[in-house]
Amino acid sequence: MSHLLTQEEATARAQELRKTLNRYAFEYYVKDQPSVEDYIYDKLYTELVQIEEQYPELIMSDSPTQRVGGKVIEGFEKAVHDIPLYSLNDVFSKEELIQFDQRVQKTVGHPVSYCCELKIDGLSISLRYENGLFVRGATRGDGSVGENITENLKTVNSIPLRLNEDISVEVRGECYMPKASFVKLNQEREEAGQDVFANPRNAAAGSLRQLDTKVTAQRKLDTFLYTVADFGPMTSKTQYDALNELSEIGFRTNPEKRLCNTVDEVWAFIQEYHDKRAELPYEIDGIVIKVNDFDIQESLGFTVKAPRWAAAYKFPPEEAQTVIEDIEWTI
């Protein structure tokens, strides 16, 4: 038990603990490269809980103790998207992909490079930060108005409560449930006689729509961020660089991205990840192809519902992955 601290000592120690614990959590949940053993984290976390119990006024919004949830809210407030969230135009064949590339080249007047990304099968989310602090998280909704699910998103460990820089930005990405968490959750629900979720996407959606944030906190959700809506001081001029910049300021981004200079290279990426799909620890339903250069994206613009500078190549529905426990045959 830490000796009783004076208000001044407690203030300084709490700030130091928040900074250290948030760094450890960033390494563990965002970089997947923990630098300390769990028991070190737990010891410091317990010390912070004790200080916050002694001095509740020291509980800050970026304190890791705020991630455990426990708020039960009546319902979700509306969240207006100043910058709309669009949907993607789907393509289902190499021919349609080539037509997309031809339309782009015809409009732009020359060949363009594409940033290709895995299409994570989760829920679109929009995250707003002011002076580095996470202030609002929302679902896509109809693209203009979503639901404010900030309290639930605070329980998702890979969403930073405070960025590595005190900047104001708005970013978008996918919140998803890893395959392993999905299987475990359904086993628990089956044992409890509850309905099981049909797929990880439904499980993630159900988990984010919980009015009891403690339930969300137990669902082991994760994120990949992929779009900068309000750039603030971010400087990237291409999608590929923006993904790296998102990672630098503290977000989890998907490493399986590729800069492709021709539609044949795009097709190779699509085939590669169609074959790798089953071994990924999360579900994908296709590949997102984006004109890499932001100035060219701007010249292409949007239709009513979707950007002209992107396409989603959709994989055929995955053959039902029957998970057959490898049966030990005792001889």
Pairing status of strand 310-314 against strand 90-91: parallel
Closest distance between ligand 3B8 and the C-beta of residue 312, in Å?
Answer: 7
Binding mask 115-154 for ligand 3B8 (x = CB under 6 A): --x-xx---x------------------------------
Provide, rounded to whole angstroms, the least separation between the CB of residue 83 and ligand 3B8: 10
Asked if residues 204 and 123 have their Cβ atoms less than 8 Å apart, the reply is yes
Does the protein bind ligand 3B8 through residue 163 (CB under 6 A)?
Answer: no
Residue 246, interface with ligand 3B8 (CB under 6 A)?
no
**Gap between the Cα atoms of 223 and 125, Å rounded:** 9
Pairing of strands 123-130, 133-139: antiparallel
According to the binding rule CB under 6 A, does residue 266 interact with ligand 3B8?
no
Nearest by Cα to 101 from 303, 299, 314, 290: 290
- Letters for 71-90 (x = contact with ligand 3B8 by CB under 6 A, - = none) are ---------------x-x--
- Catalytic: 119? yes
Q: Which helix (H) or strand (E) holds 239?
A: helix 239-249
Element (H, E) at 138: strand 133-139
Residues that bind ligand 3B8 (rule: CB under 6 A) add up to a total of 12
Considering only residues 166-185, where is the footprint of ligand 3B8 by CB under 6 A? Answer: 174
DSSP-derived secondary structure letter, 212: B
Helix (H) or strand (E) holding 15: helix 7-25
Q: Which amino acid is at 276?
A: K
The tokens of 79 are what? 């969240």
Alpha helices in 26-86 (DSSP H): 38-54
- Taking the least distance from each CB to ligand 3B8, the nearer of 62 and 230 is 230
- Residue 63 structure tokens: 């304190």
> Does residue 167 contact residue 132 with C-beta atoms inside 8 Å?
yes
The residue among 118 and 149 lying less far from ligand 3B8, judged by its C-beta, is 118
Which one of 43, 71, 106, 119 is the catalytic residue?
A: 119
The site string for ligand 3B8 over 187-226 (x = CB under 6 A, - otherwise) reads ---------------------------------------x
- Site membership for ligand 3B8, residue 310 (CB under 6 A): yes
Radius of gyration of the chain (CA): 22
By beta carbon distance, the residue nearest ligand 3B8 is 86
Please, what is the Cα angle at 231 between 258 and 311, to 5 degrees? 40
Binding characters for ligand 3B8, 279-298, by CB under 6 A (x = yes): ---------x----------
Residue 227 C-beta: closest distance to ligand 3B8, Å? 5
The residues annotated as belonging to the active site are 119
- What is the contact surface with ligand 3B8 in residues (CB under 6 A)? 86, 88, 117, 119-120, 124, 174, 226-227, 288, 307, 310
